[in-house]
Amino acid sequence: MEEHTTTVDKPATSRRHFIDLLLGVSVVAWLASVAYPIIRYLKPLPQTGSGGPTHLTRDEASKLEQKQFVIVPVSGQRVIVVNVQDRTCAFSAKCTHEGCTVTYLPGQSVIWCPCHDGRFDLNGRVLSGPPPRPLSQYAVNRQPDGGIVISEERA
Amino acid sequence: MQSIDNPTVESSSQKKEPERGAGETASGALRAWLDRRYQLTPLFDFLSHKQVPLGVHWMGWYYLGGITMFFFMVQVVTGVLLLMYYQPGEATAYESIHFLTTKVPFGWLIRSIHSWSAHLMIISLLLHMFSTMMLKAYRPPREVTWVSGYLLFLLTMGFGFSGYLLPWNKLAYFATTVGTNIVRSVPVLGNWLLEVLRGGQDVSINTLYRFFAAHVVILPLAFVAFIGLHLLLIQRQGMAPPLGEKVAPRGMRFFPSFALRDLLLWLACLMVLAALAVFLPYGPGIPGMDWELGDKADPLAPAYPGIKPEWYFLWEYQLLKEFPPHLFGLEGPQLCLFVIGILFVIWALIPWIDRRAYRDKPSPAFSDLGWAAILFLTYLTLMGWDVGAHHDAEQLTSMQEVARVCAWWTLAAGAVVILVRSWRFGHRWFILTGAALLQVILHGLIGVSYLLAGLISFVLAAIAILVLLYFRRSGADAAIST
């Protein structure tokens, strides 16, 4: 085709190229119009948690007393509340390594992720193991009636 | 056959249809009827001339693809049966599996066969893939067959991963949390991919719905499409003749000789599967190969020690552990995913990387690469399995102690591999196997960190290969000049 292109043929081929280009663009646009709703459909809606501070229930509070820790949902997130002597602290219970739920080892006073042996101290800092970041901290407020409130504002 | 055995039938049919030949059977007539409409003679001719190459390799390697397909067919049948009771849902997924295994007659058997067949399918698939790799059956013109088989391997891993979550038990919940979290390390798209995969920020019942759709619809459709392509290519090109020969010295007819052997072997596989499913209904009880239902998944319960993925993911799980939190400005899991990604890409492109096999010449370096890969995976898997840990003791065994025991096992396996290869097959190329074993020695016995040990072994192997290439080239130059 290219060998036989002459000045006379040029308008015809460029018109053909233009039509081909239009066809290509419309195919891409058509594919995009099919793909876009599917992509939006697959992306989950944002979580609609209550968002506010969470009061520990009586069950959760007694569990905290007995086991020295309890895991509770706060704004749709897992939070570990730890009771050490006179201090109560709360951290995200999601290990920063691979997202397993952490637990508390009262004997060693460390927060421990059993999946890959990550260890955190009671300030959320990494002591050992592969977690790349500290656990984020949650604010703990003791109510005058003895109730415990966990809120998302970082302490 | 019936018409020949029974002369009265023969004579009566002859009277009714005089145009049919005297020796013509019912199946022959059916074939003629089909042939007039669909012109099947060329296809039958092709199939009747199809041969399986014989005379160089052990013939057993040729059966592994068929065995893998057999186990897949078992998966389809048992999977459809499980679907009749399984109900995905927060309050039903775990409960329906519990009901299935405790109340439904033979429900335990169907689930047990499905689980056993899944593991046996992966074992036969891995053997099939590695034997194809060692025999260099991927060389031209069969590169696309290799790639289609590689995609089937990835899909099978997808089946294993998605099916693991469906009983909605505690072990599956955390294994899926760790497994899906790896996706987050994908550059740019990571978070989006993670949310799409999980149906939210965390693993929840939405994840189960998505995995269910993938496990019973998306993956099977994709698998059937690729297995169709894989089989079509194999039928069109035939099985690979031995390296360096265009045609195998001898052959066996595919129909009926090889096909009947295949069927007999499938029957044997079914017997083995049935025996395993009946005598070990919850698996052999080793970590990663155990399907006791256990406790129901609870996102608010802490993970517990001994959370492990299925055995074929253990090497990745262990590799994740070996990466430090930060390295070269990246987070450990990101770098780990990058390394795994590179290894998978190399494996997919082997037909194009192996230039000697490409030219139909022996390529000992790539046989060695296959063995090095096996030893690399063995060492990581053994460590992931905590081989050598004292489970009864109060104190957890240190990782170094586990690494030492695993190192001795891997070195023993490596020694056997090298001896058998050099004595039985006359192999002389051991640089990559040597590098894999050096990493095991440095890490397991001397205590160098896993990544540093890997780096040292990699650099030494690269230097050794460059020196070898230099001497080979100068030797070739000398040969040309004389």
Instruction: Provide the residue ranges of all domains of chain B, joining segments of one domain with +.
Output: 58-302+321-345, 363-389+396-482
Q: Are residues A63 and A133 in the same domain?
A: yes
A155 pLDDT band, cuts 50/70/90, is: very low
A94 assigned to some structural domain:
yes
Q: Are residues A80 and A7 in the same domain?
A: no
Q: Are residues A35 and A75 in the same domain?
A: no
B91 backbone dihedrals φ, ψ, rounded to 5°: -100, 5
CA angle A102, A104, A109 (to 5 degrees): 135
Pairs across A and B, CB distance < 8 A: 85
pLDDT at B12: 42
CB contact under 8 A, B307 and A100: yes
Across B191-205, B218-232, B244-258, B389-403, which has the greatest mean pLDDT? B218-232
Residues of B in contact with A100 (CB under 8 A): 174, 177-178, 303, 307
Give the β-pairing of A110-113 and A118-120: antiparallel
CATH 3.40.50.2000 fits B58-302+321-345, yes or no: no
The rounded distance, in Å, linking the Cα atoms of B47 and B279 is 41
**Locate tokens 């060492």: which residue?**
B379
pLDDT at B406: 95
CB contact under 8 A, B301 and A100: no
Question: Nearest-CA residue of chain B relative to A72?
Answer: B300
- How far is C-alpha B309 from the geometric centre of its chain's CA atoms? 16
- A 49-78 → B contacts, CB under 8 A: 71-73, 76, 78
Angle, to 10 degrees, between the axis of helix B64-83 and the axis of helix B259-279? 50
Burial class (CB in 10 A: 0-12, 13-18, 19+), B482: exposed
Residue B58 has pLDDT above 90, yes or no: no
Residues of B in contact with A43 (CB under 8 A): 192, 195-196
Report pLDDT digits (tens) over A54-80.
888 888 888 888 888 999 988 878 899
CB contact under 8 A, A101 and B181: no
Residue, of B440 and B16, whose pLDDT is higher: B440
Residues of A in contact with B299 (CB under 8 A): 78, 101
Which residue among B177, B302, B399 places its CB closest to the CB of A98? B177
Q: Are residues A26 and A63 in the same domain?
A: no
Q: Choose the weakest-confidence range: B76-85, B97-106, B325-334, B387-396.
A: B387-396
C-alpha distance from B204 to closest chain A C-alpha (Å): 11
pLDDT at A93: 92
- Are the beta carbons of A139 and A154 closer than 8 angstroms? yes
Which residue among B177, B206, B331 places its CB closest to the CB of A99? B177
Q: Are residues A39 and A59 in the same domain?
A: no
A99 assigned to some structural domain:
yes
SS3 B427: coil
Which residue among A43, A78, A101 places its CB closest to the CB of B192? A43
Report pLDDT digits (tens) over B9-24.
444 444 444 455 555 6
Residues of B in contact with A71 (CB under 8 A): 300-302
> Which CATH number covers residue A70?
2.102.10.10
Mean per-residue pLDDT of chain B:
88
Percent of chain B with pLDDT over 90: 62
Q: Are residues A31 and A70 in the same domain?
A: no
Q: CB under 8 Å, gap of 24 or more: what pairs does B214-218 form?
A: B214/B158, B214/B162, B215/B159, B215/B162, B215/B163, B215/B166, B216/B79, B216/B83
Q: Choose the weakest-confidence range: B71-85, B204-218, B290-304, B360-374.
A: B290-304
A90: β partners:
A81, A138
Residue, of B239 and B162, whose pLDDT is higher: B162
A63 assigned to some structural domain:
yes
Residue A27 has pLDDT above 70, yes or no: yes
Residue B209 has pLDDT above 90, yes or no: yes
CB contact under 8 A, B181 and A99: yes
Residue B110 has pLDDT above 90, yes or no: yes
Q: Are residues A69 and A120 in the same domain?
A: yes
Q: Are residues A128 and A80 in the same domain?
A: yes
In chain A, how many domains are there?
2
A92 assigned to some structural domain:
yes
A71 assigned to some structural domain:
yes
Q: Are residues A127 and A79 in the same domain?
A: yes
Q: Are residues A134 and A80 in the same domain?
A: yes
Residue A88 has pLDDT above 70, yes or no: yes
Segments forming the whole domain that contains residue A32 = 1-43
- Are the beta carbons of B375 and B417 closer than 8 angstroms? yes
User: ipTM of this predicted complex?
Assistant: 0.79
The rounded distance, in Å, linking the Cα atoms of B304 and B393 is 17
Q: Are residues A75 and A138 in the same domain?
A: yes
SS3 A3: coil
Any CB–CB contact under 8 A between A110 and chain B? Answer: no
The rounded distance, in Å, linking the Cα atoms of B436 and B429 is 13
Report pLDDT digits (tens) over B334-382.
899 999 999 999 999 999 999 999 888 889 999 999 999 999 999 999 9
pLDDT at B46: 87
Percent of chain B with pLDDT over 70: 91
CA angle B175, B179, B183 (to 5 degrees): 160
Q: Are residues A36 and A69 in the same domain?
A: no
Lookup: tokens for B255: 């129909």
Residue B165 has pLDDT above 50, yes or no: yes
Lookup: tokens for A82: 């730890």
